Amino acid sequence: VKSCLSNQKKWSHLKAFISLHDPTKLRVDAERDCDYHAPHHMYPYWRLIAIKDNICTKDLLTTTASRILKDFKSPYDATVVEQLRDAGFIVAGKTNMDEFGMGSHSVHSFFGSVKQEGLNGEELSAGGSSGGSAVAVKTGQCFAALGTDTGGSVRLPAAYTGVVGFKPSYGLLSRWGVIAYANSFDTVGIFGADVDETYSIFETLDRHDPKDPTSLPPSTRTRIRSLVACRGYQPRWRIGIPLEYNIAELDPIVRSTWLKSLRLLQSKGHTLHPVSLPTTRHALSAYYILAPAEASSNLAKYDGVRFGTRADGPDGTPESVLFAKTRGQGFGVEVKRRILLGAFSLSADSIDNYFIQAQKIRRLVQREFDNVFSLPNPLLEESDSFAEVDVEKGVDVLICPTAPTLPPPLSSLRDQSPLDAYMNDVFTVPASLAGLPAVSVPVQHIKEDSSPTLGEHVGIQVIGQYGHDTLVMNVARDLE
């Protein structure tokens, strides 16, 4: 705890946190809990966890980095926070992010941009939207952190900062008390310094929650477990290389590190198989129609009456004027852009051309993944047994970069168009459209002179079939 607290002071200029717990209270909590939880007794440091500021906590504000919620205090803890507290974790603070989770560099925050420092002291993007959580773990301000991943918001910052970022299968972790951006994509994710630590937190949170209607029911969880068990454990896996991911825009360092990880896996006995996922090309456009559409509906409740900080207005101001003023002042530019985009694609004139087409692409992307994996999708009716599965046909996991480039300097983002920022998510959104488990692992990039320097890492992504979260993390461990 002491070391985290001193790191919080040392790195405060990186703006990883929006609110922090009082250090004295934190230390008292840590000491008290040490007595109660004997198994953790030796490792109080292990239990300090940071929570992204769109996950409700009853003792700290939950702002989603938005002016409209700048004073919001939730009367309850989100289920994931409650589960962590029950397991002996202590909440260190709430981390900075892109407003409502919309962004890829954590610069769209009412509280200022998150930063990380490059080797030459240059300010670099921490990735987004959970950039604060990633930086907090990287700089030792906490042991681990929670984020949310709608289209890559845990994996992208993990890749940029060099920590592990895991997005479990959709529906495994509770979303109750998590402020919605796009419900059908939103997934709570975990940041840790290594795969084992990250996985241990996943195991703590992987429970059915009756309060979340999209939480996977116990019967389906049991079914998945028995299907996975049928497959059995084997030390050698079939690794898929999605050919379409080798795009022209790929940074050469990213490409060479991707190759290096494939060679590493091969040297450990796994076999490599090229696969084709042609619809991936359209996944990004589909995501940027569907996510804003859901967002425009979700954000309608922030009107200064039901939720949010109300704009000033004299008595008798008509409601519609007050709503407009509240929302005009309360939301940042990126959030407004998404609301407009979503309202447009859902409008009667456009829904067929945009929203419906994007839903079709989403279904195609899901089918395409099902076709390349040797294991069937346990959510489909016909996947009751592995009896007829030919495990020599498909692949067990896919390996690809998490992002096409290394973290860009913050100064370069000023001239970026919104579309340029959306491009960063090209490798993360396909797994989000299909609800698949995916993790970003930092792989050290070996420089020409073969002297690896701290901070020179590239995020490599492991994607698996729905429900095969453990397998994904096992392969990730082989990349460490």
Q: Which is nearer to ligand GLN, 77 or 149 (CB)?
A: 149
Query: How far apart are CB 136 and ligand GLN at their closest, in Å?
Result: 17
Length of the chain measured in residues: 480
Please tell me the distance from the alpha carbon of residue 226 to that of residue 220, in angstroms, as a whole number.
10
Q: Which is nearer to ligand GLN, 153 or 169 (CB)?
A: 153
Q: Which is nearer to ligand GLN, 44 or 404 (CB)?
A: 404
Query: How far apart are CB 294 and ligand GLN at their closest, in Å?
Result: 10
Among 15, 52, 94, 138, the one annotated catalytic: 52
Query: How far apart are CB 142 and ligand GLN at their closest, in Å?
Result: 20
List interacting residues with ligand GLN (CB under 6 A): 101-104, 129, 148-153, 181, 291, 425
Shortest-Cβ-distance residue relative to ligand GLN: 153
Task: Look up 153 and say whether it is catalytic.
Answer: yes
Task: Look up 347 and say whether it is catalytic.
Answer: no
Query: How far apart are CB 148 and ligand GLN at their closest, in Å?
Result: 6
The H or E element spanning position 266 is: helix 252-267
Q: Report CA-CA distances (Å) from 260 to 377, 401, 451, 457.
A: 30, 11, 15, 12
Reference 296, options 327, 261, 264; nearest CA is 327
Query: How far apart are CB 182 and ligand GLN at their closest, in Å?
Result: 8
Please tell me the distance from the alpha carbon of residue 32 to that of residue 45, in angstroms, as a whole number.
13
Long-range contacts, 392-395 (Cβ 8 Å, 24+): 392/238, 394/238, 394/240, 395/238, 395/239, 395/240, 395/273, 395/275
Query: How far apart are CB 304 and ligand GLN at their closest, in Å?
Result: 24
Q: Which is nearer to ligand GLN, 396 or 425 (CB)?
A: 425
Please tell me the distance from the alpha carbon of residue 66 to that of residue 35, in angstroms, as a whole number.
38
Contacts of 439 (CB under 8 A, 6+ apart): 155, 164, 165, 166, 167, 195, 198, 461, 462, 472, 473, 476
Q: Which residues of 91-127 are buried (b: 16+ CB within 10 A; e: fewer)?
A: bbbbbbbbbbbbbbbbbbbbbebbbbbeeeeebbbbb
Reference 390, options 258, 238, 250, 288; nearest CA is 238
Q: Which is nearer to ligand GLN, 149 or 478 (CB)?
A: 149
Pairing of strands 457-464, 17-20: unpaired
Q: Which is nearer to ligand GLN, 83 or 148 (CB)?
A: 148
Among 74, 106, 113, 129, the one annotated catalytic: 129
SS3 461: strand
Q: Which is nearer to ligand GLN, 106 or 383 (CB)?
A: 106
Query: How far apart are CB 249 and ligand GLN at their closest, in Å?
Result: 17
* Cβ atoms of 42 and 33 closer than 8 Å: no
Task: Look up 297 and say whether it is catalytic.
Answer: no
Pairing of strands 17-20, 164-167: unpaired
Among 66, 113, 133, 153, the one annotated catalytic: 153
Please tell me the distance from the alpha carbon of residue 6 to that of residue 134, in angstroms, as a whole number.
18
Q: Which residues are catalytic?
A: 52, 129, 153
